[in-house]
Amino acid sequence: MTISVEELLRKATLVTGDFDGPGEAPLTIEQVDQFVRLAVNPQVMLPDVRTVRSNSAKWQESTLDFSGARIMKPGTEATELPAGDRVKPTTGIVEISTVLIRGQVPVSDEVMEDQVERAGFADTLTATIAEATGRDVEELMIMGDTGSGDDYLALQHGWIKLAQGAGGNVYVASGDAQDYQTIFRQLLTQLPDRYKRDIPNMRYYVPMRLEEKYRDILASRGTALGDLILTGTGELRYQGILIKGVPLIAITAGTPDTSYILLSHRQNLYAGWRRQITLETDRLPREGHTNFVVSARVNSQIGHVPATAIATTVDVEP
């Protein structure tokens, strides 16, 4: 049975009849899928990457890879291949270890009473909380860094930090100024050829400011492509690979402002969610408000770091 978004919002303990006292409503697995969909859909990278879920707070995902070995060998009729010609895939484990995140939104009784929507305001607020949750989860999964001075981002490593780990292909772009085409080419060159077989599902994830700047650069060339870029909002590609602007890829202020470009197959990036997400209300009559509380356990991982390439110190000066 498929539950509608409207029914989900009604069942998420946020209807007016539930304001009589404190209560908790852990979402069912079916409802969790709907909540995650509400949270993920307005984002940029979360709908694009591999989403994995489990009832456990920590679990492992298995990987198989034949990309580095030829499995076909010369054959002889009615004869099995000798032992030395037999090939098995390279196996691996992606460990998802989720971290707890929680949000609390207090809403005064007067706000609840004065809204035109009345009872429907709780449903609207729930949908808005889901979207904001997705935004914050995406930020953590992109820019998480356990060495960060930001307590929230320090919960875990995100994809930007993970791509710079052992085996990663890191390109320092500080000498390229805003020659983004050179940076795209360098990243593609550094990525081993065996990871370039599925171009339609590869992505250049770039800061939104860089995407806007690159559109201006292409538009200034005075070609038919430049005219199209100037007048439309069509997709940007380099060597067939989609260039995707991501608002939550952070920019470091400086001279010049700098940021990152991440090249990866989209399914090589993992977004892990523990299935039990709680969405609850807590009525506090003495204080005159109701708390809307959401909590989740999430984690980001990269399936195979050598299959990514990342440019650092990319000039994104406006």
Local confidence band at 3 (pLDDT 50, 70, 90 cut-offs):
very low
Q: How far is residue 178 from each of residues 121, 234, 318, measured CA to CA in Å?
A: 46, 21, 10
Average pLDDT value for residue range 131-153: 95
Mean pLDDT, the chain, as a whole number?
A: 83
Burial (CB < 10 A; 0-12, 13-18, 19+), residue 234, is exposed
Tokens of 79: 């004869």
> 308, 312, 23, 27: which is closest to 168 by C-alpha?
308
> 301, 124, 268: which is closest to 201 by C-alpha?
268
Largest CA distance in the chain: 85
> Is the predicted pLDDT of residue 12 greater than 50, yes or no?
no
DSSP 54-74: ESSSEEEEEEEE-TTS-----
Structure-model confidence comparison of residues 153 and 112, the more confident one:
153
Segment among 67-81, 92-106, 160-174, 192-206 with least mean pLDDT: 67-81
> Is the predicted pLDDT of residue 15 greater than 50, yes or no?
no
Local confidence band at 14 (pLDDT 50, 70, 90 cut-offs):
very low
The whole-number pLDDT of residue 6 equals 47
Local confidence band at 218 (pLDDT 50, 70, 90 cut-offs):
confident
Q: How far is residue 41 from each of residues 45, 51, 127, 138, 299, measured CA to CA in Å?
A: 10, 12, 12, 11, 18
DSSP letter (8 states) at residue 291 = E
> Torsion over CA of 173, 177, 183 and 186, rounded to 10 degrees?
-60
**Mind listing the pLDDT tens digit for each residue in 254-313?**
999 999 999 999 999 999 998 777 878 787 878 888 888 889 999 999 999 999 999 999
d(CA 125, CA 293): 11
Q: What angle do CA 202, 208, 213 make, to 5 degrees?
A: 100
Residue 5 near residue 119 (C-beta atoms within 8 A): no
Domain ranges of the chain: 5-62+93-152+270-299, 160-269+304-315
> Is the predicted pLDDT of residue 187 greater than 90, yes or no?
yes
Which residues have a Cβ under 8 Å from the Cβ of 12 and sit 6 or more positions away? Answer: 25, 27, 31, 35, 126, 279
Residue 272 near residue 32 (C-beta atoms within 8 A): no
Q: What angle do CA 109, 112, 292 make, to 5 degrees?
A: 80
SS (H, E, C) 146-182: CCCCCCCHHHCCCHHHHCCCCCCEEEECCCCCCCHHH
The whole-number pLDDT of residue 259 equals 98
Fold of 5-62+93-152+270-299: Major capsid protein gp5 fold (3.30.2400)
User: What separation, in Å, do the N-terminal and C-terminal C-alpha atoms of the chain show?
Assistant: 50
> 262, 238, 241, 260: which is closest to 251 by C-alpha?
260
Structure-model confidence comparison of residues 257 and 71, the more confident one:
257
